Amino acid sequence: MFTTLIKIGNYFINILLKIIKYMDFKFIMKIRNYLFKFVLGKMGKNCNICAAVTLISPKNIMIGDRVSIHHNCYIGGRGKINIGNYVSIANGSIIVSEEHNYNDLNLKIKEQGITEKNIIIEDNVWIGANVKILGGVTIKTGTVIAAGAVVNKDTLENSVVGGVPAKLIKYR
C-alpha cells in the first residue's frame, strides 16, 4: 500500500515537472528544485536546475551541493552520473552515460542495444556552454571545460580542456 502511494506520488511529481519544465520564473525554479529532490537519486543543498533541462533516468543521477544546471541541458542517466559539489553546467550541455552498440554487421544498429557507461564529475568543475560529455569519463576536481568541447576521456585535476575531442589546453 505504501509503495503504491509512493509510485502515485512520483507519477504526479513527474507530470508537474513536465508542466513547469519551460517556465522561467524565480518561484517556479524553487518549486522545480524542490520536486527534483523526489525524483533524482540524490540532490544536495542550494542547487538550481533551470528551465528546459531534460533528465533521463533521474534515479541514476546524483547531484552534490551548490550545483547549477542551466537552460537546455540534457542529462541521460541510463548509466550512473555522479555530479560533485560546486559544479556549474552551462547552457546547452549534454551529458550522456550510454552509447549504442554497433559491432554486429548482421543486425541493424538500433537492434543491438546500448552499453551503459558511468560518468563522474568531481567537485569545483565548470562545464562551458554546449559541451558534450560521453560515457565512461571522469572529470577531475577543478577542471574547466571550454565551450563546445567533446569530452571522451578523463581530465586531469585543475586542468583547462577544450576542442573536439577535448585536449589539455593548460593548467589552472
Check whether the bond before 58 is cis (ω within 30° of 0): no
Q: What grid cell was written down for 26?
A: 524565480
Task: Indicate if 100 belongs to the active site.
Answer: yes
Q: Which amino acid is at 108?
A: K
Residues 6+ apart with CB under 8 A from 28: 20, 51
Low-confidence ranges of the chain (pLDDT < 50): none
Q: CB of 136 within 8 A of CB of 118? A: yes
Model pLDDT for residues 28-75, shown as the tens digit of each residue: 778 888 888 888 999 999 999 998 899 999 999 999 999 999 999 999
- Model pTM? 0.88
Q: Of these residues, 30, 37, 42, 100, which one is catalytic?
A: 100
Domain 40-171 -> CATH class: mainly beta
Q: Is 82 helix (H, G, I), strand (E, B) or coil?
A: strand
What does DSSP assign to residue 161? E
